[in-house]
């Protein structure tokens, strides 16, 4: 197991950061953060105070309504600032899944258009586009690291990555949309979205580029303008905030979107087009607190994320060092811990062992919360990684026909070296036992 050197750890004050999260004072150790992170105290306080003192309808002229509107607008402004966007370019909604689904309803592409969809994605950025293709009779081209043209190819790799090399042969003048993930919620590998955007805009200038930023946003500063994307979404409940999500749309993309709003709502901003009054007001105020927490740290948002990336590199290095050293473990995604290549979402399968059994054994003997499954990236798990699972039983909470997928250990900046070293010890004991 590699030792974590002092200087790598000292770049981020994890003890100080943990004080901001009330949930971390309980015995549970949170390694399911890619599912959802714990919430910053200022967010919790903001929600409480909104509901206690300004829970009225927005837009009215009386005093409390003005205060409610101010808090709501500030939340919106902060959400836009978080990714370097303008307020009229974003919409806040309950989930990324819903925002992408609403988005797809607003687009209409010419006949014969082609949609390029990645097989590495969470289904949230796939199924709306499939529905759109079916309803408008468009062609779907699957973008998979495998040479096969269909997503049901045989397993090819443990570290599938989306690259310009695999994208270029799919692009054509008929390409209307390319959809892919910034970071897979299973593999943790970071894709070079800037390079992909450049290729798309050069080869298919009218094509829109839709990126799922959900698994990256808790770990890295994002600037949507610098990335050159048309759509970008992330979920605040994985970024230390409330259960909300945000979608960005570039000006050119927005001009091509129809509106789902009422006929008398004529605005061209994204909120009017697909907001549908769906972002709960008390939570939107809380989003502002997440952003202010990042901005208030040393070096501002960029400085804080830089410190986080260094700290997380150390954490994932401990786990990957252990897993890479075992002959019976298949690490999925980038095997090296470099922060340029991956975020601390580490998934693996153990030869001869079901992922569910491994997680249950961990839970039996410790307070570690990690998880097994496909995490809605089912095409990736089944078709690209080719992971077999046993048939699930009814009532297991994951559906009758699920396999067991992978074991996923997903860390964030508030996890400590001590926690991950303790996890490795528990995992080592579990793997030493007979299944």
Give the shortest CB-36-to-ligand PLP separation in angstroms. Answer: 8
Pairing of strands 345-350, 406-410: antiparallel
Give the shortest CB-137-to-ligand PLP separation in angstroms. Answer: 27
Give the shortest CB-242-to-ligand PLP separation in angstroms. Answer: 11
Give the shortest CB-185-to-ligand PLP separation in angstroms. Answer: 3
Angle, CA of 387, 391 and 393, to the nearest 5°:
140
Q: 3-class SS at 408?
A: strand
The CA distance from 247 to 59, in Å, is 23
Query: CA gyration radius for the chain?
Result: 22
The CA distance from 131 to 133, in Å, is 5
167 is written with which tokens? 């994208």
Asked whether the beta carbons of 25 and 15 are under 8 A apart, the reply is no
Nearer to ligand PLP, 175 or 185 (CB): 185
Asked whether the beta carbons of 229 and 213 are under 8 A apart, the reply is no
Pairing of strands 90-93, 245-249: antiparallel
Nearer to ligand PLP, 126 or 257 (CB): 126
224 is written with which tokens? 């949507």
Using CA of residue 398, residue 403, residue 405, residue 409, what is the dihedral sign? positive
Nearer to ligand PLP, 278 or 424 (CB): 278
Nearer to ligand PLP, 221 or 430 (CB): 221
Using CA of residue 342, residue 142, residue 178, residue 380, what is the dihedral sign? negative
Nearer to ligand PLP, 69 or 96 (CB): 96
339 is written with which tokens? 């922060």
The CA distance from 215 to 205, in Å, is 27
How far is the CA of 19 from the CAs of 13, 252, 309, 412, 434, in angstroms?
11, 43, 19, 15, 39
Give the shortest CB-172-to-ligand PLP separation in angstroms. Answer: 27
Nearer to ligand PLP, 273 or 408 (CB): 408
How much of the chain is helix, strand and coil, in % rounded to 5?
40, 15, 45
Give the shortest CB-399-to-ligand PLP separation in angstroms. Answer: 16
131 φψ region: left (φ > 0), alpha (ψ -120 to 50), beta (else) = alpha
Residues within the interface to ligand PLP (CB under 6 A): 34, 95-97, 122, 124, 181, 185, 212, 214-215, 235, 245
Nearer to ligand PLP, 68 or 92 (CB): 92
Nearer to ligand PLP, 235 or 347 (CB): 235
Q: What is the DSSP letter of 259?
A: P
Residues in the chain: 435
Nearer to ligand PLP, 218 or 389 (CB): 218
Nearer to ligand PLP, 214 or 381 (CB): 214
In sequence order, the β-bridge partners of residue 392 are: none
């Amino acid at each position: 197991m590699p030792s974590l050197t002092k200087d790598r750890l000292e770049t981020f004050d994890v003890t100080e950061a943990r004080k901001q999260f009330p949930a971390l004072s309980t015995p549970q150790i949170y390694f399911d953060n890619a599912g959802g992170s714990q919430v910053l105290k200022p967010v919790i306080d903001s929600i409480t105070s909104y509901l206690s003192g300004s829970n009225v309808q927005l837009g009215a002229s009386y005093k409390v309504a003005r205060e409610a509107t101010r808090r709501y607008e500030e939340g919106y402004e902060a959400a836009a600032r978080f990714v370097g966007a303008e307020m009229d370019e974003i919409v806040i909604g309950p989930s990324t899944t819903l925002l992408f689904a609403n988005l797809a309803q607003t687009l209409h592409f010419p006949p014969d258009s082609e949609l390029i969809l990645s097989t590495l994605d969470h289904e949230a950025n796939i199924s709306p586009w499939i529905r759109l293709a079916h309803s408008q009779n468009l062609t779907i081209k699957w973008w998979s690291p495998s040479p096969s043209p269909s997503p049901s190819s045989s397993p090819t790799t443990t570290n599938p990555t989306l690259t310009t090399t695999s994208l270029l042969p799919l692009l054509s003048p008929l390409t209307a949309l390319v959809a892919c993930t910034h970071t897979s919620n299973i593999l943790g590998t970071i894709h070079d979205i800037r390079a992909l955007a450049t290729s798309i805009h050069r080869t298919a200038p009218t094509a829109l580029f839709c990126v799922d930023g959900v698994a990256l946003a808790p770990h890295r500063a994002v600037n949507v303008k610098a990335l050159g994307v048309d759509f970008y979404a992330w979920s605040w409940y994985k970024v230390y905030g409330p259960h909300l999500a945000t979608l960005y749309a570039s000006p050119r993309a927005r001009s091509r979107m129809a509106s789902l709003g009422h006929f008398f709502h004529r605005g061209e901003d994204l909120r009017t087009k697909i907001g549908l009054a769906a972002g709960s007001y008390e939570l939107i105020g809380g989003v502002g607190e997440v952003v202010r927490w990042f901005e208030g740290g040393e070096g501002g948002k960029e400085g804080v994320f830089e410190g986080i990336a260094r700290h997380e590199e150390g954490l994932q290095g401990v786990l990957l060092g252990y897993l890479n050293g075992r002959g019976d473990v298949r690490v999925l995604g980038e095997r090296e811990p470099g922060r340029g290549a991956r975020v601390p979402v580490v998934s693996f399968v153990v030869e001869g062992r079901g992922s569910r059994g491994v997680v249950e054994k961990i839970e039996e003997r410790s307070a570690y919360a990690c998880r097994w499954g496909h995490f809605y990236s089912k095409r990736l798990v089944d078709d690209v990684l080719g992971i077999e699972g046993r048939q699930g039983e009814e009532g297991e909470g994951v559906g009758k026909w699920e396999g067991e997928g992978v074991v996923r250990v997903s860390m964030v900046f508030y996890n400590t070296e001590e926690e991950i070293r303790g996890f490795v010890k528990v995992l080592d004991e579990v793997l030493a036992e007979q299944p």
